[in-house]
């Protein structure tokens, strides 16, 4: 148990399926070189594997060197792989941001560093009234934005930057993730992102035939 909350980051993405889990796991690998108690969390996950566990949660646990009960690292494991507010509604549940904040606060006392993966894009609805940006604001965590490098990513990244700013969140850095090997003018897009995003680039991850978080970690700097 720490006396003070450990550093923690909120990993947001320009979209779903653009590399948030890969980057969150890479950050965990990087943090493990410094700390013996590092944990990843996915407070809201929609879609479960045959074992009843969400695939992202399994990947984050594999990248963590501290294992915690599911109520701490994945308080909401929803069955349907749809927007969380719809998945929760289908089960007659309501996602309570305060329950998530309590879980993250406990993780920050148990671990030396915590990486929280958001769900979908930043403003994905979590309930009838709240979205992912509200969650990041309640958690008061610096945001690491994963930009999935593909056509359209400049607009998505800039819109997300606006949302980060309008919620009063700290934009700690961004990561370019080459999810589309056929992307045209990828370097020019990166130059544009570097000039227009008002946070440091923490790294650019190349497209990998067999995506591997430990390998991706070599391409990343930790946010300060
Ligand atoms: N740099 C990369 N190279 C190749 N495949 C990638 C890369 N980044 C992510 N992927 C693949 O894209 C998919 C989505 O990545 P993931 O990290 O799960 O995204 P998210 O958490 O944003 O939904 C996964 O199948 C992952 O293996
Ligand atoms: Mg994910």
Measured in Å, residue 198 CA sits from the centre of ligand 2 at 24
Measured CA to CA, the distance from residue 59 to residue 21 in angstroms comes to 8
pTM over 0.85: yes
What integer pLDDT is reported at residue 149 of this predicted model?
Answer: 98
How are the residues of the chain apportioned to helix, strand and coil, as percentages rounded to the nearest 5?
40, 20, 45
Write out pLDDT tens, residues 171-184. 999 999 999 999 99
For the cut 90, the answer to whether the pLDDT of residue 221 exceeds it is yes
Query: How far apart are the CA of 36 and the centre of ligand 2, in A?
Result: 24
Domains in the chain: boundaries: 8-217
**pLDDT score for 1:** 85
pLDDT at 47: 98
Average pLDDT score over the chain: 98
Tokens of 67: 């294992």
> What's residue 79's pLDDT?
98
Residue nearest ligand 1's atom 7 by CA: 179
pLDDT at 43: 98
User: How far, in Å, from the CA of 165 to the mean position of ligand 2?
Assistant: 23
Q: Which ligand is in closest contact with the Cα of 42?
A: 2
Q: Ligand 1 test: best mutation among 17, 58, 176, 212, most atoms within 8 Å of CB?
A: 17
Q: Is 42 a catalytic residue?
A: yes
Instruction: Decide if pLDDT at 203 tops 90.
Output: yes
* Average pLDDT estimate for 86-99: 98
> Is the distance from CB of 41 to CB of 115 less than 8 angstroms?
yes
- CATH number for the domain running over 8-217: 3.40.50.300
Q: Is 182 helix (H, G, I), strand (E, B) or coil?
A: coil
Residue 224 has pLDDT above 90, yes or no: no
Q: Do residues 145 and 157 lie in contact, with contact meaning Cβ atoms separated by under 8 Å?
A: yes
- Burial call 63-88: b when 16+ CB within 10 Å, e when fewer: bbebebeeebbbbbbbeeeebbbebb
Using a pLDDT cut of 90, give the percent of the chain over it: 99
**Protein residue whose Cα sits closest to atom 17 of ligand 1:** 19
Q: What is the mean pLDDT of residues 189-213?
A: 98
The per-residue pLDDT for 105 is: 98
67-82 confidence digits (pLDDT tens)? 999 999 999 999 999 9
């Amino acid at each position: 148990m720490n006396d003070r909350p450990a550093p923690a980051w909120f990993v947001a993405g320009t979209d779903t399926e653009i590399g948030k889990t890969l980057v969150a796991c890479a950050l965990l690998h990087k943090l493990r070189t410094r700390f013996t108690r590092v944990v990843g969390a996915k407070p809201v996950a929609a879609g479960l594997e045959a074992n009843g566990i969400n695939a992202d949660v399994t990947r984050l646990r594999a990248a963590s060197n501290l294992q915690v009960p599911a109520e701490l690292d994945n308080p909401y494991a929803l069955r349907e792989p749809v927007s969380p507010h719809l998945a929760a509604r289908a089960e007659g549940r309501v996602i309570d941001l305060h329950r998530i904040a309590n879980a993250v606060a406990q993780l920050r006392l148990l671990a030396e560093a915590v990486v929280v993966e958001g769900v979908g894009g930043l403003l994905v609805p979590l309930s009838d009234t709240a979205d992912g940006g509200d969650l990041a604001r309640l958690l008061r965590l610096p945001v690491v934005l994963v930009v999935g490098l593909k056509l359209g990513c400049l607009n998505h990244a800039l819109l997300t930057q606006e949302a980060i700013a309008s919620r009063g969140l700290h934009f700690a850095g961004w990561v370019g993730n080459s999810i589309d090997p056929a992307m045209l003018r990828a370097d020019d897009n990166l130059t544009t992102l570097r000039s227009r995003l008002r946070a440091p680039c923490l790294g650019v991850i190349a497209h990998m035939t067999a995506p591997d978080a430990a390998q991706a970690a070599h391409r990343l700097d930790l946010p300060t």
